[in-house]
Structure 1
Amino acid sequence: MEELVRYGEKFFDELEIAIYRKRDVSVNIELNELSLSSVRQRTVAVIRGIKDKRLGLAIIDSENKEEIKKAIEQAYKMAKLNSRDEQWDSLPGPGKYAKPKKIDTALKEVSPEYFVELAKKGIKLALEEDKNIIVAGGGGGVEWRESQILNSQGINVVQKGGGAYIYFELVGMKEGNVTPGIFDLDAKLSLNLDVEKVVENAAQKVKWAYKVEKSRTEEAKVIVEPWAISMLLSFALFPAFKGERLIKETTPLANKIGESVASELLTIYDDPFHELSLNPVIADDEGVPTRKNALIENGKFKGFIWDNYWAKIYGTESTGNGVRSLATGGISIGMHNTVIENGKKSLEDMIREIEHGYLINSFQGAHSSNPDNGNFAVVANPAFIIENGEVKGSTVFMMSGNIYDLLNQVYDISKEQKVIPFMGTVVSPSIAFENVRIAGK
């Protein structure tokens, strides 16, 4: 591949070649039945070249050398048509990489049949758990990825790895009452997925949901579970950590480094090397070494994350957070494995200590949150009523406000963490908030 870089230097001042090989195995579940199993494989080469501060991009579904040469020539033609980017500095150079994590190679070779059996097992367990339950949806599989990033500055880094996941969405139908869809999941860097626990957790919530209570407008204690936390923070908070937003003045965290922005109980960081990470990459999609980046530490904002382009504009260094879109070939700032540090108390004990409050399993409408100011408005559904330390039934209510106000209302965090492999990997505990204003429905 180095000879291709040298070939590209005939056309460009700087050149980057990124090769991605992906193998996705998946099964889908609909209404107690397996609806689809598949294996999808794809190889993508992305050419990114710069000539006189003009960017040229080309994407091809091949790693054939002759095809890549043609793509380099095509990218050069595109560069000549594009305007100069006067803010462009240079591609990154190589750095010191961490030792790669040991990979379970069984993930690369697994067949759909393995997940077909897991899915069948989960369906059987759910129907045995409660005759009123329907497995409305679900799925499982493995996402395996191999990559090689090379550039004319001397970067040449190869990576491989993958993760497995399984989830089930259960709906209960009893005495004319249909519960919301309630799902649970497991995700790991191995095939050792806990189907029994996933079904048990979801089925328990379905049983709680049979009894429906009206919520009321009030201020109350609220425990938000990992799936709901990851949805809300992914849209309302996490984008504000990106350095691009600092430069464009679209983050409320500007000039807040070192200041308190949340409860001192809260610590958040991006760490691809965390023990639960599904994405233990040693380099980002530009070949820059990755690292643990503190975002909020004991409530204080610690700093922004950067890719190479925006870091050089701001006069700092990349934090190893360049993430490539295979649809456009472009690089943007993103997190590899966001971790919300856990606490010391079990979720069960947190529930037991509440006289009156709510447990939220999922939010609707989190995508409409505004990271420019932290405002959000969501529907908690399904949510569960807690009375005298016990879950007494299900309900639905509105929750709105500002994410920074909410994060200052944290009073407890569970010791259990769950890996959420959607919208980027998030490792999250359940988080308890006090004096949360809710609007009954």
Structure 2
Amino acid sequence: MNVDTIVEQVKSLLVSRPLDGWEITAAASRNLTVEAKEQKVDTFKCSAPTGVSVRVLKAGGMGFSFSTSLVDADLERMVENALVGAATQTPDNCHAFAEPASYREMPELFDDRLAAVAEEEKVERALLLERLVLDVDPRITKVRKSAFSESTVMMRIVNSRGVDGCYRGTSVSASVSAIAEENGQSQMGWDFDFATRFADLTVENIARRAAAKALGLLGATTIPTMRCPAVLDNYVATEILEVLAPAFLAENVQKGKSLLAGKQGELLFAPLLRIVDDGTLPDGAGTAPFDAEGVPKRRTVLAEDGRLAGFLYDTLRGCKAGVPSTGSAVRGGIKSPPHMGVSNFFIEKGGTPLAGLFEGIERGILLTDVMGMHTANPISGDFSVGAAGFLIEKGKVTVPVKGIAIAGNILELFRSVEMVGDDLRFFGALGAPSLRIAALDVSGE
């Protein structure tokens, strides 16, 4: 059964009900995951879930329910459950559904050749990735896991106000964890990449980067505690940005759970930083014509010239603030109602090559990994986490270092950015270039 048939089936159950409004979201997908180990297929998973959800509005109450069964009795039960939810929820005058709008055509989101690629070729991608990593250097002794994944999805959203949006999307990804050993020491390097089209996924680059990370940390040593200039590579910069991302969501701002609440227009960041959320970004993991409520996705500048420029809104939170939605409703799947989230959330790239970020640093640190960044306090912004990387001496990267920790405050860190790299890279829906920080507390021996 396709999504159009599902929508019409559920719509027939809703139109005769005494409701103030309704919304139907139907999705069908096909997912494949292949994991290889020692040149054998270790895992092969294939699924094709289909489901539908409804939200109903009555007397200010919003009810939600879903069904992965498409038989009539189960769909009727889903509608009844949503009605019960609406009746028992606290009424809110801002509960509403999106207004109809025109959507941008995005044919590039769908790879019409993916389905024709033989499964054997997809399995070979995982096997090839493992071989390529092992061939980089004899010190790469094993691959913990080499994986290939793909997903094809079709989604349609219709509501009682006239919203009717549908799109198809494909995504492919691969990842690998490499182990390097030398002189009794072992180090791991991980890397991945993703694309919307099968032909655009290059496993050679993934293998090279994963091997380089593992090999680069061999012989890592400890260093004394110091306060010094630091360069965050694009992976670490993205990890730290991910902790800051929820602070831009209007729901957290309005509930007092954001360290940015009440600070719009203030100078909070380094003047050369621009932070953006862009749901229309070409080839972005979070790119789509519309969000989980049917609102067109858009580009929103959140920080510019160092100042907090604004926040992200969905329909409910936009109503409470008296502003339109920024197309920032997301959902984790058909089983969850829309909630606030980012699309493609990133720091725009600068003009300095990575090597240029090291220039002028007499003694500092290049951070390539942080452990436990999710433990940072999202309201105060304070953090203290383990880290690894390389020593910078006289403007050059020298020896690898381990057993260190970094501490500080996220806002203070982004305020002290003095150079921005040109190497913007996305890790899923979030991305950042490498950043040079004026000073950071590094705990060592």
**Same-fold status (TM-score > 0.5):** yes
Local SS of the residue matching 1:415: coil
Q: Is the Cα–Cα contact under 8 Å of residues 222 and 360 in structure 1 kept in the other structure?
A: yes
Local SS of the residue matching 1:97: coil
2:89 is the counterpart of 1:83 = yes
The residue that corresponds to 2:275 in the other structure is 268
2:442 is the counterpart of 1:433 = no
2:393 is the counterpart of 1:387 = yes
Q: Is the Cα–Cα contact under 8 Å of residues 276 and 419 in structure 1 kept in the other structure?
A: no
Match among 368, 378, 395 for residue 375 of structure 2: 368
Which segment is superposed worse, 101-110 or 206-215?
A: 101-110
The residue that corresponds to 1:220 in the other structure is 228
Which amino acid is the alignment partner of residue 294 of structure 2? G
Identity %: 25
Q: Counterparts in 2 of 1:274-289, with a 5 A limit? A: 274-289=281-296
Which amino acid is the alignment partner of residue 164 of structure 2? N
Q: Could you tell me how far apart the structure 1 residues matched to 2:40 and 2:265 are?
A: 53
Deviations 1:374-399 (A, max 9, x none): 12221113x22233413322323111
Q: Is the Cα–Cα contact under 8 Å of residues 31 and 150 in structure 2 kept in the other structure?
A: yes
Q: Counterparts in 2 of 1:16-31, with a 5 A limit? A: 16-30=23-37
Shift of 1:110: 4.5
Match among 45, 56, 61 for residue 49 of structure 1: 56
Q: Could you tell me how far apart the structure 2 residues matched to 1:261 and 1:30 are?
A: 47
Deviations 1:290-341 (A, max 9, x none): 1101111232211010111111122221111011233752221111111221
Local SS of the residue matching 2:193: strand
The residue that corresponds to 1:143 in the other structure is 151
The residue that corresponds to 2:125 in the other structure is 118
Shift of 1:175: 1.2
Q: Is the Cα–Cα contact under 8 Å of residues 19 and 45 in structure 1 kept in the other structure?
A: yes
The residue that corresponds to 2:211 in the other structure is 203
Which amino acid is the alignment partner of residue 214 of structure 1? T
Shift of 1:108: 5.0
Local SS of the residue matching 2:267: coil
| Compared CA separation, residues 354 and 34, structure 1 to 2 (3 A) | farther
The residue that corresponds to 2:195 in the other structure is 188
The residue that corresponds to 2:3 in the other structure is none
Deviations 1:70-90 (A, max 9, x none): 42233224433x133234442
Q: Could you tell me how far apart the structure 2 residues matched to 1:31 and 1:178 are?
A: 19
Q: Is the Cα–Cα contact under 8 Å of residues 223 and 432 in structure 1 kept in the other structure?
A: yes
Which segment is superposed worse, 132-141 or 210-219?
A: 132-141
| Compared CA separation, residues 387 and 262, structure 1 to 2 (3 A) | same
The residue that corresponds to 1:294 in the other structure is 301
Match among 321, 328, 333 for residue 314 of structure 1: 321
Local SS of the residue matching 2:162: coil
2:136 is the counterpart of 1:132 = no
The residue that corresponds to 1:161 in the other structure is 169
| Compared CA separation, residues 158 and 430, structure 1 to 2 (3 A) | same
5+ residue gaps in structure 1?
none
Q: TM-score, normalised by structure 2?
A: 0.91
| Compared CA separation, residues 110 and 372, structure 1 to 2 (3 A) | farther
Q: Is the Cα–Cα contact under 8 Å of residues 27 and 37 in structure 1 kept in the other structure?
A: yes
Q: Is the Cα–Cα contact under 8 Å of residues 101 and 280 in structure 1 kept in the other structure?
A: no
The residue that corresponds to 1:253 in the other structure is 260
Q: Is the Cα–Cα contact under 8 Å of residues 227 and 362 in structure 1 kept in the other structure?
A: yes
Which amino acid is the alignment partner of residue 166 of structure 1? A
Q: Counterparts in 2 of 1:339-378, with a 5 A limit? A: 339-351=346-358, 354-378=361-385
Q: Could you tell me how far apart the structure 1 residues matched to 2:262 and 2:281 are?
A: 29
Q: Is the Cα–Cα contact under 8 Å of residues 208 and 391 in structure 1 kept in the other structure?
A: no
Match among 155, 159, 178 for residue 170 of structure 1: 178
Which amino acid is the alignment partner of residue 21 of structure 2? E
Which segment is superposed worse, 55-64 or 243-252?
A: 55-64
